[in-house]
Structure 1
Amino acid sequence: MWPYCTQAMYYTGMPTIVNVTIINGLGVAGNVVNLTWHPYAGNGNGERIDVAITYSDILWPWSGWLAVAITVPSTSHDWQGIVQGL
């Protein structure tokens, strides 16, 4: 979340929730498909967090949403470091 937030995340902590604004400038309506978290392997440590993505089926110019919830699973309860992914 840097440079926007430097709050550490930890197991049993509240999830970090990010609401993303999507501007649909290409048409009257748009669709969001196949959004998934891809953790960087190796030094990225992306497997150390759980990422849940929810979104509206259709994006209209006046409405539509995408929410990302990030939590730390119990398998990472004693780990410290930086996590990266797409």
Structure 2
Amino acid sequence: VLAMLLSAVSKSRRASLRNPAALKQILASGAAPLPHLSAFEQGAGLLDPHATEEALREFSPHVSVFPPRLDLTPDGCPWMWPYCAQPLYASSQPLLLNLTLLSSISPRAAFAAPPVWTPRANRRMLQVDFAYGDGMRAYAGHFGLRLRVPAEASSFEGEVEGEITLSFSDFVNNDGSTSA
């Protein structure tokens, strides 16, 4: 399917899409999650050729994270199972999550700054720690999250929302040149 879609774009455009991260980002953007299956069983979901064609047309190189969103509440089930089925509480073990980083900008990139957790509400109810390498190699990288409820939040019952910001720099192209 991807070869057929790529044949529909100009040669110059096709050349800019010839890296594994770009192809994976396009396929993930055009996938539709399947009901009743977790992300571990289906990845991004079922390939939708029409949505993938649209993603291909609108694509511009970028850095992305998979999964792009984490909903660990019961509403996140079944896609985030088993994480959505086990509530966090103060005396529980931390929840560890591994995310995949993809950069279709260049084969290598470095973290420009440490990741930042910005809670929207209930800011002291969740401790978020990060584990990550020095950046991305071969268009990909890893990013670990450690979620823990601190003891002072033991009486809290509710949901915590927030956003994690990742900043990258030193994008290095295959020819050794750098890009912003």
Q: TM-score range by the shorter chain?
A: 0.7 to 0.9
Q: Percent identity?
A: 22
Q: Among 71, 77, 83, which residue is 2:148 paired with?
A: 71
Q: Deviations over 1:22-53 (max 9, x none)?
A: 1121112012233111111xxx2132010001
- Report SS of the residue matched to 1:70: strand
Q: Return structure 1 stretches of 4+ with deviation > 4 angstroms.
A: none
Q: Deviations over 1:57-84 (max 9, x none)?
A: 0210266311000001011011111111
Alpha carbon RMSD of aligned pairs, Å?
1.5
Structure 1 pair 24–62 and aligned structure 2 pair: CA distance change class (3 A): closer
Partner of 2:93: 14
Partner of 2:47: none
In structure 2, C-alpha distance between the alignment counterparts of 1:61 and 1:24, rounded to whole Å: 9
In structure 2, C-alpha distance between the alignment counterparts of 1:30 and 1:54, rounded to whole Å: 16
Unaligned runs of 5+ in 1: none
- Report SS of the residue matched to 2:147: strand
Partner of 1:48: 125
Unaligned runs of 5+ in 2: 1-71, 164-180
Structure 1 pair 63–24 and aligned structure 2 pair: CA distance change class (3 A): closer
The amino acid that maps onto 2:127 is D
Asked whether the 8 Å contact 1:39–1:45 carries over to 2, the reply is yes
| TM, length-normalised to structure 2 | 0.43
| TM, length-normalised to structure 1 | 0.85
The number of residue pairs the alignment matches comes to 83
In structure 1, C-alpha distance between the alignment counterparts of 2:152 and 2:135, rounded to whole Å: 35
In structure 2, C-alpha distance between the alignment counterparts of 1:23 and 1:12, rounded to whole Å: 34
Q: Among 138, 158, 163, which residue is 1:61 paired with?
A: 138
In structure 1, C-alpha distance between the alignment counterparts of 2:159 and 2:140, rounded to whole Å: 34
Which structure dedicates a bigger proportion of its chain to strand? 2
